[in-house]
Amino acid sequence: MSVHAEEGTTIISLGENNFLTEHDGHAVVGLSTETKWRIKAYQPSDDSPPFFMILLNSEGPEELCLALDTNEGDNENNVMLELLETPRPKTCQLWTFEEKAVMERFVLPLNAKFL
């Protein structure tokens, strides 16, 4: 998944082999996918707002998390999996949840007739 950063906004576009999809300008992890994610809160100090780490549930001893890869000089950034930095996560591994994005579903009424 590619992220095109502009001042004050982030626009997400799809790439190949991604766990995430895009809906209405938001990154979305599908609940029906086989990939399991863990959300873990992290607060750097008592007076800072809470951040979140999005961890991939894996069998191994190392924790993988979503991170924003910001390449200097590029107009395009990538959301990728990388090893969680411990004990203090890197800034690019911390996320905030501003609002929820819910994809609309097409539901047929019970009396629907097919031609």
Q: How would DSSP label each residue in the chain?
A: -EEEEETTEEEEE--SS-SEEEETTEEEE-TTSS--EEEEEE-SSTTSPPEEEEEE--SSSSPEEEEEE--TT-SEEEEEEEEPPSSS--GGG-B--------------TT----
Task: Note the pLDDT tens digit of each residue in 41-83.
Answer: 898 888 988 888 888 877 778 888 888 876 666 666 677 788 9
* Residue at 56 is within a domain: yes
pTM of the model: 0.58
* Residue at 42 is within a domain: yes
* Residue at 30 is within a domain: yes
Question: What pLDDT does residue 11 have?
Answer: 43
Cα-trace Rg, the chain: 17
* Residue at 99 is within a domain: no
* Residue at 110 is within a domain: no
What is the number of domains present in the chain? 1
Range of the domain at 72: 2-93
* Residue at 100 is within a domain: no
Average pLDDT in the 26-48 region? 72
* Residue at 112 is within a domain: no
